[in-house]
Amino acid sequence: MSLDRDTILVENFRQSLDLYQRSLVWAMTASAAFFILSLNLGDPQFSTVSVLYGRLSGPAAWFVSLALFFVLGILAGSALHSAKTVRARFAAPSDIVEAVLLYPSLATNAYGVVRVGTVLFSPVVVLIGIVIELRREWPGSNGHDLSWWLTLAAYVILLVAPYGRIAFLLRHPLGSPSSQPARLART
C-alpha cells in the first residue's frame, strides 16, 4: 500500500488539530476546577476532594489542577506548532490544501472570539483564582503590598506564557494567508 506525501501531511495536520483541541478543552476543565477549588479553599469544612479512586486534600487538588492547566497549555502550544509546521510543508496552494483548511477546529475557526476566546478563557479563570487565593493569604494588604504584586506578576509570567503564545499565533485562523510567514505568502 503506497501513501503519497499529501495524504500523510493531511493526516498529520488533522491529528495535530485534534490534539490541540483536546488539550485546550482539558485545560479549560482544569482551570475551571482550579477556580472552584480557589473559591472553596478557605472554607474550614472543605478539607478533601474526591479524585478518581481516592481523595486529595484541598490544597493538593488546587495544586494538581494548576499543574494540569500549565502542562496542558504547553501541550496545546506544541500541537499548534506541529500543525503550523505541517501546514507549511504542503506544496503550493491547491484544492487539497484548501480542503484541509476547512477541517473544523478551534484553530481554523473563522471567528476570532471563538478562536482566541477559548485560549484566553483558561488563563483568565486561573488568574482570578490566584487573586482570590492571594487575597485570602494576605488579607491586610488589599493589593497595596509590593510583595503581593510581585507574586501575582510571577504567576502571570509563569502560568500564562504558553497561552499568550497560542493566542498570538491564532490572532488569524490557522492556514489563512495573514497567518503564514512572508516566505510562504510569496509562493
Minimum mean pLDDT among 65-69, 90-94, 149-153, 170-174: which range?
Answer: 90-94
Q: How confident is the model at residue 42 (pLDDT cuts 50, 70, 90)?
A: confident
Q: Helices H, strands E: what count in the chain?
A: 6, 2
Q: Which of 27, 30, 173, 54 is nearest to 114 (CA)?
A: 173
Domain that holds residue 150: 5-185
Q: How confident is the model at residue 31 (pLDDT cuts 50, 70, 90)?
A: very high
pLDDT at 184 over 60: no
pLDDT at 5 over 60: yes
Q: What is the pLDDT at residue 92?
A: 60
pLDDT at 18 over 90: yes
Distance between CA atoms of 19 and 40, rounded to whole angstroms?
32
The total number of structural domains in the chain stands at 1
Q: Record the pTM.
A: 0.81
The residue type at 171: R
| Stretch 120-136: mean pLDDT | 87
